[in-house]
């Protein structure tokens, strides 16, 4: 999706809105392809007193696997994007500025990059996910498992003594 900005560049105050969908369902991330189709992109490029400003959002559903309990879960992801655009760089220091090519900007590339950079590398189904039991592998979110708690050997010895006394 390329947006031609020739007219916006020449017209202070002009705003060129855009809205389109992308398919990133083939995008591999951590060995999975988590991005549900379609990815929605919308926003606008504005000419503010001669400066070109790109503002928009990219959003999509993600189908993920919890790192703690391994359960599949879905999450909505929404990334705001803002860049200054320029036809040429006046000074090399301006990292945030995107260069136009022949007065055009490749929006798919800009928003795909922003989306990928915003992806979390860790995914947890919920902040208080209890994860899996290290002993039996049960999902502790479903309740306590059948594993016996480790018994303190001193308490076990006392329990034996008490048992013997009660037999007398």
Question: Which spans of this chain sit near Zn ion (rule: CB under 5 A)?
Answer: 66, 68-69, 125, 129, 133, 135-136, 138, 145, 147
Query: Would you say 58 or 66 has its CB closer to Zn ion?
Result: 66
For 109, the 3-state DSSP assignment is: helix
Query: Would you say 119 or 129 has its CB closer to Zn ion?
Result: 129
Q: Is 135 left (phi over 0), alpha (psi -120 to 50) or beta?
A: alpha
Q: How far is the CB of 166 from Zn ion (least distance, A)?
A: 31
For 76, the 3-state DSSP assignment is: strand
CB 115 within 8 A of CB 130: no
Q: Please report the sign of the dihedral spanned by the C-alpha atoms of residue 126, residue 130, residue 135, residue 139.
A: negative
Query: Would you say 108 or 138 has its CB closer to Zn ion?
Result: 138
Q: How far is the CB of 71 from Zn ion (least distance, A)?
A: 5
Q: How far is the CB of 35 from Zn ion (least distance, A)?
A: 20
């Amino acid at each position: 999706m390329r947006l031609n900005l020739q007219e916006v560049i020449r017209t202070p105050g002009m705003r060129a809105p855009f809205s389109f969908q992308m398919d990133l369902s083939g995008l591999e991330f951590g060995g999975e392809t988590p991005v549900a189709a379609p990815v929605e992109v919308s926003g606008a490029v504005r000419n503010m007193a001669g400066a070109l400003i790109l503002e928009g959002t990219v959003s999509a559903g993600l189908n993920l696997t919890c790192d703690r309990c391994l359960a599949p879960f879905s999450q909505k992801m929404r990334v705001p994007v803002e860049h200054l655009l320029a036809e040429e760089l006046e000074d090399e220091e301006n990292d945030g500025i995107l260069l136009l090519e022949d007065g055009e900007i490749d929006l798919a590339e800009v928003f795909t990059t922003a989306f990928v950079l915003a992806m979390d590398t860790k995914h947890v189904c919920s902040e208080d996910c209890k994860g899996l039991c290290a002993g039996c592998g049960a999902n502790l979110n479903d309740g306590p498992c059948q594993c016996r708690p480790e018994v303190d050997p001193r308490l076990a010895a006392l329990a034996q003594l008490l048992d013997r006394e009660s037999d007398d």
